[in-house]
Structure 1
Amino acid sequence: MTVYSGCRSPQLSDRAPALPASIGRPFTRGRPAVSVVILLLSLILLSGCNTSAIYQDHLYNPPVYWGKHEVKKGETLYGIAWRYGRDYRELGNANGLKPPWTIHPGQVIRLDKKGRIPATASASPRPSKSAVQRTSGSRQTSASSRPAKTPVASDIDWQWPHNGTVIAGYSASGKVNKGIDIAGKPGDAVRAAAKGNVVYAGNGLLGYGNLIIVNHSEHYLSAYAHNRKILVQEGEDVKAGQVIAELGSTGTDKPMLHFEIRRNGNPVDPSRYLPGR
């Protein structure tokens, strides 16, 4: 995906380029000169816009509520919303769009506007079948492990997209990881974690390589990144466990599957949804 624009406020992690030693000399010595330089740098950063480099930086952590995005050929609202950490329904609503969220090349998507998401009851991850079986010794315990009746999202039976070792877990702070990384060999089968519909299949989202995004319900999406080969197409329905890609190393330095689950556009810890091993 090519970013047209998306200006952002500088973060504490932003690093300014080194300055020539001569800068600040015309001013008085000491802190006033340093303050002037810092002010100038702040103005430069505030006037700057996103470049593709920030998507490779683990400190870049959407959601983004500034700037705009010009739609390029082949892009979908799902993919754009994923890139900026927004719920596709909220972003569509902010831009006057309605289902099926059709967009066109050249169309400008405003990121500085916030839309609405239909109000629904809060949904919790459904315990896996194995988790229920482990607590079935007591009818009361088994029942208590099930959440109250919620929207269809809670009826998703999640399963592991690959049986490899988890080499990096979910992290919302420090070195941010919006999902989990699973080790594997090039060509290993990558499977759909639940039934759904493919809403993105391509390599336009920087940092993800060959990426597949599957829509499972009104609330939940899952993503499968760094694939060597994509075996499904956008708009295709997939079954849980269906092979949808070959594991690879596109967009990363070693073979692995990066797997994410997002609820209402927000990354969540997949380990809370996947069954125990």
Structure 2
Amino acid sequence: MNKRSLTMVPDGAERACWRGVALWAVVGGLLLTAGCSTRKLNQPAPVEDRTRASAEIKPLPGAENAGKPGYYTVRPGDTLYRIALEAGQAPRDVQTWNNLSNPNLIEIGQVLRVAPPAATPAAPNSAAVTSAPVTAPGVVARPLTPPVAGATPPVPATPGAPVAGAPTPVPATAPEPVAGADEISFVWPAQGAVVSNFDESKNKGVSIAGKVGDPVLAAADGRVVYAGAGLRGYGNLIILKHNNTYLTAYAHNQALLVREDQTVKQGQRIAEMGSSDSDRVKLHFEVRRQGKPVDPLAHLPKR
């Protein structure tokens, strides 16, 4: 038996069978691939349901008052204390007007009331109203005594013309302008030299030099509306409210000698000078008129 006779050569039937098996394998693979592709194409794409997210987004408190006079929209970096100072109001009042349980929790975009709620005008007191006499139209006043013969009849007086025999009215002198009821005479809050002047954009007050522990005095009678260290850049700070127009601020103190809601007198010692949140010992003193910083030197007596 030679080598050729030992080699297994498939006959024609076997070759046809192998070709059939290979063909079905190819067809099966194509069907399997098509089936997978069909399932992928028919699978729905993931959809994010934004309905619930939209429903959960609530407008911030006071949004309906944005842009109205007497309201302020919170911006990044704001604190309730700084907002109140800029508005010329006591921080506790602003907290009360906005029903804030925690003054440190305010949100960017939140709208706060920074002016007191408008008072309801009182109804006029009817007992205090006096009625002017009413003259019926077309009625002319005539003397009860009959005219004397030959006498010149009286000439009806022209409205606004001087009456004969009446004293000549003296022109009223215009009253001299009087300072507003809220104007105040301030005193110096410290005895040191002024080391930095007022600049509305950079320095909203004046800095007065001194030594640690030097007395800081109330510039006028008032009420303590803030005493603490909640305003960045001011250190230990006291704010006095003198009336509806003026506030004064005393910053960088070493120690605070008064508490909130306490009434103080002009010249009373309210703090000790220091360098809290400052590069040197000094008193930073501000005068705010209706919340706007003004030059304290224009309100303090000349030295």
TM-score scaled by length of structure 1:
0.54
- 1:186-238 Cα shifts (integer Å, max 9, x gaps): 00000000010001011111100000000100111100000011011111110
Superposition RMSD in Å = 3.4
Q: What percent identity do the matched residue pairs reach?
A: 44
2:297 aligned counterpart, secondary structure = helix
Alignment correspondent of 1:232: 258
Gaps of 5+ in 1: 1-63, 72-76, 120-145
1:160 to 179, 188, 194: 188
2:296 to 255, 270, 275: 270
2:180 to 136, 139, 150: 150
Radius of gyration: which is bigger? 2
User: Is the Cα contact below 8 Å between 1:179 and 1:259 reproduced in 2?
Assistant: yes
What is the rounded CA distance, in whole Å, between the counterparts of 2:93 and 2:76 in structure 1?
13
User: Is the Cα contact below 8 Å between 1:67 and 1:112 reproduced in 2?
Assistant: no
Matched residue type, 1:160: W
What is the rounded CA distance, in whole Å, between the counterparts of 1:147 and 1:231 in structure 2?
39
User: Is the Cα contact below 8 Å between 2:253 and 2:273 reproduced in 1?
Assistant: yes
Alignment correspondent of 2:87: 86
User: Is the Cα contact below 8 Å between 2:273 and 2:282 reproduced in 1?
Assistant: yes
Higher relative contact order, structure no. (Cα contacts within 8 Å, ≥ 6 residues apart): 1
Aligned ranges 1:1-277 → 2 under 5 Å: 65-67=73-75, 80-82=83-85, 85-88=86-89, 98=97, 103-105=100-102, 108=106, 112=111, 148-151=178-181, 153-154=182-183, 156-173=184-201, 176-277=202-303
Distance 1:102 1:259, change over 3 A: farther
Matched residue type, 1:158: F
User: Is the Cα contact below 8 Å between 1:65 and 1:114 reproduced in 2?
Assistant: no
What is the rounded CA distance, in whole Å, between the counterparts of 2:230 and 2:279 in structure 1?
18
Instruction: Provide the aligned length of Structure 1 versus Structure 2.
Output: 174
- 1:67-120 Cα shifts (integer Å, max 9, x gaps): 37898xxxxx665412xx22338x978x9x54xx8742166476656765799x
User: Is the Cα contact below 8 Å between 1:68 and 1:112 reproduced in 2?
Assistant: no
User: Is the Cα contact below 8 Å between 1:198 and 1:236 reproduced in 2?
Assistant: yes
TM-score scaled by length of structure 2:
0.50
